[in-house]
Structure 1
Amino acid sequence: MTEDRGELPPGLALSWGVQPVQRRGPKPALTIEQIVATGIEFGDRYGFAAISLQRIAGRLGVTTNAMYRYVRSKEELIVLVHDRALGPPPELPDGWRPAATAWVDAQVVLYAERPWLLDVPIRGAPVTPNVLRWMEVMLAALAETGLNQHDNLGCLMLLDGYARNYAGLARQLGAGDHTPVQAEQVGRFLVPRLLEGGYATVASLYLNAEYEDGLDDDLEFGLARILDGIEALIAKQ
């Protein structure tokens, strides 16, 4: 399918399979699928900063200028790469609360596998197929709550923000070598100073081995509190 993309946002038409109107000249040597797949490969291997028209052109054996026959800009490239790398959402279980848990868990797993997705700029409301499909399945699950569409969308944004925030924190904690907070030598150094300096509550966390690097069960704890809040909102109807 081809048509003039006109004033549509970058990546919108191509993400839905609408190809640009073909001009006269040689048959295109590449496909959008090749370009996007190569962009994902660079992201997976080298990180978000490596996804560029120049690098992809070099890998595919064409000039950077030739890339503009296929995508209008780097922004359009990123939109297409992001949507394809995100992929479709999982099939969610019945019940809005189990569905929300599965939806958040799936995002956290995806961001752990492809942390560079967290670096993709957010440029307004979602418009591409996979991003909208993730929205669709969660909003469909929330529809059973009886909340209005505005509140359901707010709940979705809350869940999405929580997943991204948790994944970002996990990414930072996993980056580089560092001494664990709960290391014995850290505790020996800090606890007396905490007690002397008026940090009695924080000191008690150290003494009870409750203050550690890592997230442990923090994902489940935080998500459960969010879902409890949504339940309270449902009950107020």
Structure 2
Amino acid sequence: MPLTDDAQLPPGLVLAWGRPAKANKLGRKPTQSVEQIVDAAVELADADGFAALSMPKIAQRLGLTANAIYRYVRSRDELLVLLGDAGWGPAPDRISDAPDWRAAATAWTQAMVDRCDIHPWLCDLPIRGAPMTPNLLGWAEAILKVLTGTGLSPTESLSCALLLDGYARRTASARRDVRDSPTASDQPAAVARFLEPRLRELGYSILAGLMAGDQYTDEVHDDDVTFGLDRILDGIEVLIAQHGRDPLS
């Protein structure tokens, strides 16, 4: 394998693949590990959210000085790369056990949404391009195997995977935001009683009917996730059919 100049690689990539970065000569021998730094960051983000993540707070959590944490990771950007890979974790095993491509794609997308329920801050992590770290590449390979197995080309499969990925992230983010919103209604029936006559006065009969039937809600239910995902999969199924393959195989 040819040698690579680590300085030419994106922040965090070397550490994510288990290769030690060039040591920072900042004094005493390190007393922690990169893994412990990442674990502390995950715990802090789980407890206080993405906005709470700072190098001094993580250092304090581990009993380190603010400067000492830079013996392990060189910057916050580098830490966020490691944090993201740890937060997503390995791709779920159930994808390979699915009976057909639609079930597998559904399991993969739902697993992304579920993972964001476990670590809501995943929705806030910046996306800096295509996956390059071990766990994220594992997620990518899992869905690409599913999609290329239908007869789609690798390029088409990647485009479909990006579509599913984006849907999962947006859905998870919306569900998180509604769940955590301080303005979310605790009295949906009272809101409906207030709004319905006003909607009818404005001639908004469809909205009024939905509200009267308790079908107008700000919550993102599993059925909502499935409905949107099924429409995306319907489109992918059309693309597969254009290749002359059985879309249910």
- TM-score w.r.t. length of structure 1: 0.91
Give 1:96's aligned residue: 101
The correspondence of residues 46-57 of structure 1 with structure 2, limited to 5 A, is 46-57=48-59
Are residues 53 and 189 of structure 1, via their aligned partners in 2, closer, same or farther at CA, if it must alter by over 3 Å?
closer
Q: Does 1:72 align with 2:74?
A: yes
Which ranges in structure 2 are unaligned for 5 or more consecutive residues?
244-249
AA matched with 2:233: L
Tell me how far apart the structure 2 counterparts of residues 90 and 66 of structure 1 sit (CA, whole Å).
Answer: 36
Give 2:246's aligned residue: none
The one-character-per-residue Cα deviations of 1:102-130 (angstroms, maximum 9, x if unpaired) are 11111111111110111111112211111
1:174 alignment partner, one of 179, 194, 210: 179
AA matched with 1:128: T
Give 1:108's aligned residue: 113
Tell me how far apart the structure 1 counterparts of residues 42 and 123 of structure 2 sit (CA, whole Å).
Answer: 14
Tell me how far apart the structure 2 counterparts of residues 109 and 206 of structure 1 sit (CA, whole Å).
Answer: 29
Structure 1 range deviating more: 95-104 or 56-65: 56-65
The one-character-per-residue Cα deviations of 1:6-56 (angstroms, maximum 9, x if unpaired) are 221000000000102447775322211111111111111111122221112
- The percent of aligned pairs where both chains have the same amino acid is 50
Aligned length: 234
SS at 2:163 equivalent? helix
Give 2:164's aligned residue: 159
1:209 alignment partner, one of 202, 209, 214: 214
Are residues 198 and 74 of structure 1, via their aligned partners in 2, closer, same or farther at CA, if it must alter by over 3 Å?
same
Are residues 188 and 34 of structure 1, via their aligned partners in 2, closer, same or farther at CA, if it must alter by over 3 Å?
closer
Contact 2:24 2:70 in 1 (8 A): no
Give 1:87's aligned residue: 89
Contact 1:139 1:153 in 2 (8 A): yes
Give 1:219's aligned residue: 225
Tell me how far apart the structure 2 counterparts of residues 136 and 32 of structure 1 sit (CA, whole Å).
Answer: 26
Contact 1:191 1:206 in 2 (8 A): yes
AA matched with 1:55: K
Contact 1:118 1:164 in 2 (8 A): yes
Are residues 179 and 22 of structure 1, via their aligned partners in 2, closer, same or farther at CA, if it must alter by over 3 Å?
closer
Q: Does 1:14 align with 2:20?
A: no
Tell me how far apart the structure 2 counterparts of residues 194 and 168 of structure 1 sit (CA, whole Å).
Answer: 29
Report how far residue 180 of structure 1 moved. Answer: 5.3
Contact 2:24 2:71 in 1 (8 A): no
Tell me how far apart the structure 1 counterparts of residues 84 and 110 of structure 2 sit (CA, whole Å).
Answer: 19
Which ranges in structure 1 are unaligned for 5 or more consecutive residues?
none
SS at 1:68 equivalent? helix
Are residues 4 and 30 of structure 1, via their aligned partners in 2, closer, same or farther at CA, if it must alter by over 3 Å?
farther
The one-character-per-residue Cα deviations of 1:162-193 (angstroms, maximum 9, x if unpaired) are 1111111111111135325841x323332222
Are residues 157 and 23 of structure 1, via their aligned partners in 2, closer, same or farther at CA, if it must alter by over 3 Å?
closer
Give 2:194's aligned residue: 189
